[in-house]
Structure 1
Amino acid sequence: MKKIVAGIAVMLLAVTMFGPSDGYAKKTSVAEIDKQLKQLQQEVQAAKAAQEKAASRNQEAQHYKNKTTLNLQYVLDQIDQVKGEMTTISGKIASTEESLNVTATELDDAEARVASREKLLESRVRLMYTDGAVSYLDVLLSSTSFSDFLDRADSLKMIVDQDQDLLVQHKLDKQTVIAKKQELEGQYAQAKQLYTDLESQRSVLKEKEAEKQELIAYYDEEIQEAEVISEEQNAKLVQLASNRSALEEQKDKIKAEEAARRAAAAKAEAARRAAAAAAKAAKAAKSASSGGSSIASVEEYAGGNGPFLLPVGSARVSSPYGVRTHPVTGEVGKMHTGVDFAVPQGTNIHAADSGTVLVAEWWSGYGYCVIIDHGGGVWTLYGHIREGGIRVKVGDRVERGQTIAESGATGRVTGPHLHFEVRVDGKTVNPMPYL
């Protein structure tokens, strides 16, 4: 019955798990998918817990089944032993009954002899009572000669001895037969009692055997139920994994679409603001070459409304994007392809936006460097990272604001800072409009 119920449960579980697959396709929100993934994780944990519990239950039932089977075998051995003893006792009872039959015959013979002797003795007593004790003397005195007297005396003595022997023999026969009969009756009663005791013991053992068989059947049922539960949870885990894969795929698709939309928007924004950015950059470069304060010109770029986060917060810009005199080589009119943020060594560097890591290693004059692909041909570059400061690897998916490295002074630099670039289709653009 429990197998049937378990089978129905598995079918219902399959219908329940495989049914909502279309529902996942209808979800268009990453937040909703994350919520479903979290719920799936909880279900996975619950399924694994149920599976572990079923395995423990299976193991325990198997243990007790094995133990009960050993006990059952012991009981069966005892039953066989008792049956053997009962067979032996049955043989003894039959033998005793046969002996009792023989003794009964002997007793009949003895009683016949006793009866015969009793008649003879009764005739003797009757004769003595009728003639009196003096008759023995009369017999002697009526002798005709001395030799006749002696013969008569010997005859009388033989008669007296015979009477005495009859009395003794009569008593002995009766006692012997009675004693033998009592002995055999005792043996018979003892054998009968022993057989009854063994039969009672066998009955108890049979009850124990039935009890052990019932326990084994119970543990078999427990094992089957645990196996069914384990199979159900296996099926559920497989389906949950399938659902999770479908959700992850849907999530990646939505993110890719969102990234493409952002990249397209960023590209359009970059094109729209390219002219203004170029004008500002030219103005900044002109101001720097005429001896004006580079810090003052940099302040013009502080606080934009672009799509990217500032990678190191509100740090001061120590060198803007554009043409400048190279601080290391002294080369005049050298193009500075990014923006330098003046930050102490070890400052956390954050991803300007979500994307996939393309580079996470030493990269020429940039020193240790990380490049992130944000989709739509837009990249961001983070240079001069300290040795051992890279916290991501190639192929990693990073989120907006995630710490990816620590600032340093590796590569071609004069001191600790972060060199930050934005590249569109591989070409550098002014990062400031994007921040």
Structure 2
Amino acid sequence: MKRIAAGMAVILLAVTMFGPSDGYAKKTSVAEIDKQLKQLQQEVQAAKAAQEKADSRNQEAKHYKNKTTLNLDYVLGQIAQVKGEMTTISGKIASTEKSLTVTATELDDAEARVASREKLLESRVRLMYTDGAVSYLDVLLSSTSFSDFLDRADSLKMIVDQDQDLLVQHKLDKQTVIAKKQELEGQYATAKQLYTDLEAQRSMLKEKEAEKQELIAYYDEEIENSEVISAEQDAKLVELASSRSALEAQKDKLKAEEAARRAAAAKAEAQRRAALAAAKAAEKAKASKSSGGDSSSVASAEDYSGGDGPYLRPVGYARISSPFGYRTHPVTHEVGKLHTGIDFAVPQGTSIHAADSGTVVLAQWYSGYGYCVIIDHGGGVWTLYGHIREGGIKVSQGQRVERGQTIAESGSTGRSTGPHLHFEVRINGKPVNPMPYL
């Protein structure tokens, strides 16, 4: 919508920019016109400053958009990497859950063994408490024979070994239960931490991606706004140049009228003095009774060379590298972009000549044209000469130039891929094909 609004603004300005306003038309004093021209110059400087500021904002926004886009690509790469890590972590979580199941089973088995041994030990303690303590020596001495003694000794040893083994196993199972509990708690804690880390990474990356997308949208809006401002200032500069041209023409007309009045007055004064001198000479001749005297007069004429007829080629018959019409822009690569003039392929520093006589309405940097000269030839016809080298402009704003006069030197400033002259013919501000005019 903003681009459409900018386009409408440019069209409206183009419609109204040719021909001075009523205020300008009513000015009859050169001093008053100079005042208006000074005001126009201030407006031109303000418009140019606004355009330069908009262009600067545009370039800055594009720079930061490109930088943010690269950061977004990096974040998206991190997201892809984290997705891989998420798959690995999910596998670890599944493995941990399987280990938890095995550990729980082992823990149940160990607790069952401990409970069984605790019951056996409790029964033996109750038996010893009920029957009283029996000395191992009394058992051996009560043997009826040597073989009975050996049998009793073996039995006592088995009982002692069994009790000892029972106590050792009971102690080991107790330790196993404690270790398994600790391991189980550790595995649960690890699984919980894995889930927490995964969710934290996912949340962080989502925030970064949203932040980058928001910044890119902001810079896109900045670029669009600055382009709208630049287009508006372009149109305003053209409007101001047209008004300035009209004022300069009116000023020249006033100066010519004033010069004509002064010339007429000077001629009348010269005739008066000549008549007076002749009368004195006649009176002197009559007084001296002598004759003779010759007088001569000097006539002057003003020679004016008009600019009618086909226009001169500004750089002679140089090769045309790009004609008028639609094309793919060589710098921005925009498809279907109207090339509003023709390009002459000439080396850096080639002299550029005025296609016809007229008044310079612009001689400065002009947006994508780089350093540029525009000449008003009257009747709504302008010619434009773009991509002039830095320091190559040979005329100034408001200057009267003649057909074939050197006005600049070719270069490659502005949006240009190499040294050449971009030449336009504009009728009432609209670019037309220059070829029929050359």
Secondary structure of the 1:247 match is helix
Alpha-carbon distance between aligned partners in 2 of 1:201 and 1:169, rounded to the nearest angstrom: 47
Conserved 8 A contact 2:93-2:191: yes
Conserved 8 A contact 1:54-1:227: yes
Match in the other structure for 2:234: 234
Cα distance change of structure 1 residues 170 and 16 upon mapping to structure 2, 3 Å threshold: farther
Match in the other structure for 2:94: 94
Cα distance change of structure 1 residues 133 and 272 upon mapping to structure 2, 3 Å threshold: same
Alpha-carbon distance between aligned partners in 1 of 2:97 and 2:181, rounded to the nearest angstrom: 11
**Are 2:156 and 1:151 aligned?**
no
Secondary structure of the 2:133 match is coil
Conserved 8 A contact 1:61-1:219: yes
Q: How far off is 1:44 after superposition?
A: 1.3
Q: 5 Å matches for 1:61-76?
A: 61-76=61-76
5+ residue gaps, structure 1, are 291-321, 324-332, 339-354, 359-395, 398-435
Conserved 8 A contact 2:19-2:246: no
Match in the other structure for 2:373: none
* Counterpart residue identity of residue 159, structure 2: I
Q: How far off is 1:175 after superposition?
A: 1.1
Alpha-carbon distance between aligned partners in 2 of 1:273 and 1:337, rounded to the nearest angstrom: 12
Identity within the alignment, %: 87
Conserved 8 A contact 1:6-1:225: no
Alpha-carbon distance between aligned partners in 1 of 2:124 and 2:86, rounded to the nearest angstrom: 55
Q: 5 Å matches for 1:133-144?
A: 133-134=133-134, 140-141=140-141, 143-144=143-144
Q: How far off is 1:156 after superposition?
A: 2.1
5+ residue gaps, structure 2, are 306-398, 401-438
Conserved 8 A contact 1:103-1:177: no
Conserved 8 A contact 1:44-1:240: yes
Alpha-carbon distance between aligned partners in 2 of 1:146 and 1:233, rounded to the nearest angstrom: 128
Q: 5 Å matches for 1:294-313?
A: none
Cα distance change of structure 1 residues 82 and 282 upon mapping to structure 2, 3 Å threshold: farther
Match in the other structure for 1:42: 42
* Counterpart residue identity of residue 156, structure 1: L
Match in the other structure for 1:132: 132
Match in the other structure for 1:166: 166
Conserved 8 A contact 1:55-1:226: yes
Question: Mean alpha-carbon deviation: is it higher for 126-135 or for 20-29?
Answer: 20-29
Cα distance change of structure 1 residues 57 and 285 upon mapping to structure 2, 3 Å threshold: farther
Question: Mean alpha-carbon deviation: is it higher for 8-17 or for 29-38?
Answer: 8-17
Match in the other structure for 2:220: 220
Alpha-carbon distance between aligned partners in 2 of 1:31 and 1:229, rounded to the nearest angstrom: 33
Deviations 1:37-95 (A, max 9, x none): 22222221111121122222223333333444444444444555555444433332332
Q: How far off is 1:134 after superposition?
A: 2.1
Cα distance change of structure 1 residues 35 and 277 upon mapping to structure 2, 3 Å threshold: farther
Q: How far off is 1:135 after superposition?
A: 7.6
Secondary structure of the 1:133 match is coil
Q: 5 Å matches for 1:233-312?
A: 233-260=233-260, 263=263, 275-280=275-280
Alpha-carbon distance between aligned partners in 2 of 1:230 and 1:189, rounded to the nearest angstrom: 61
Alpha-carbon distance between aligned partners in 1 of 2:283 and 2:177, rounded to the nearest angstrom: 149
Alpha-carbon distance between aligned partners in 1 of 2:259 and 2:118, rounded to the nearest angstrom: 136
Q: CA RMSD in A?
A: 4.2
Match in the other structure for 1:307: none
**Are 2:208 and 1:211 aligned?**
no
Cα distance change of structure 1 residues 238 and 282 upon mapping to structure 2, 3 Å threshold: farther
**Are 2:200 and 1:200 aligned?**
yes
Q: How far off is 1:280 after superposition?
A: 3.9
Conserved 8 A contact 1:50-1:233: yes
Conserved 8 A contact 2:3-2:224: yes
Alpha-carbon distance between aligned partners in 1 of 2:69 and 2:281, rounded to the nearest angstrom: 90
* Counterpart residue identity of residue 167, structure 2: L
Q: How far off is 1:104 after superposition?
A: 0.5
Match in the other structure for 2:350: none
Conserved 8 A contact 2:76-2:209: yes
Q: How far off is 1:281 after superposition?
A: 5.5
Cα distance change of structure 1 residues 169 and 268 upon mapping to structure 2, 3 Å threshold: same
Match in the other structure for 1:55: 55
Q: 5 Å matches for 1:80-119?
A: 80-119=80-119
The alignment of Structure 1 onto Structure 2 pairs a total of residues equal to 304
Cα distance change of structure 1 residues 356 and 233 upon mapping to structure 2, 3 Å threshold: farther
Q: How far off is 1:161 after superposition?
A: 0.4
Larger Rg: 1
* Counterpart residue identity of residue 60, structure 1: E
Cα distance change of structure 1 residues 336 and 261 upon mapping to structure 2, 3 Å threshold: closer
Cα distance change of structure 1 residues 135 and 40 upon mapping to structure 2, 3 Å threshold: same
Match in the other structure for 1:364: none
Alpha-carbon distance between aligned partners in 1 of 2:212 and 2:147, rounded to the nearest angstrom: 96
* Counterpart residue identity of residue 212, structure 1: K
Give TM-score, length-normalised by structure 1.
0.57
Q: How far off is 1:357 after superposition?
A: 11
Cα distance change of structure 1 residues 173 and 16 upon mapping to structure 2, 3 Å threshold: farther
Q: How far off is 1:252 after superposition?
A: 3.0
Q: How far off is 1:206 after superposition?
A: 3.2
Secondary structure of the 1:134 match is coil
Secondary structure of the 1:234 match is helix
Q: How far off is 1:177 after superposition?
A: 3.1
Q: How far off is 1:237 after superposition?
A: 1.2
Give TM-score, length-normalised by structure 2.
0.56
Alpha-carbon distance between aligned partners in 1 of 2:242 and 2:282, rounded to the nearest angstrom: 56
Match in the other structure for 1:328: none
* Counterpart residue identity of residue 37, structure 2: L
Alpha-carbon distance between aligned partners in 1 of 2:212 and 2:287, rounded to the nearest angstrom: 100
Match in the other structure for 1:383: none
Alpha-carbon distance between aligned partners in 2 of 1:174 and 1:6, rounded to the nearest angstrom: 85
Q: How far off is 1:120 after superposition?
A: 2.8
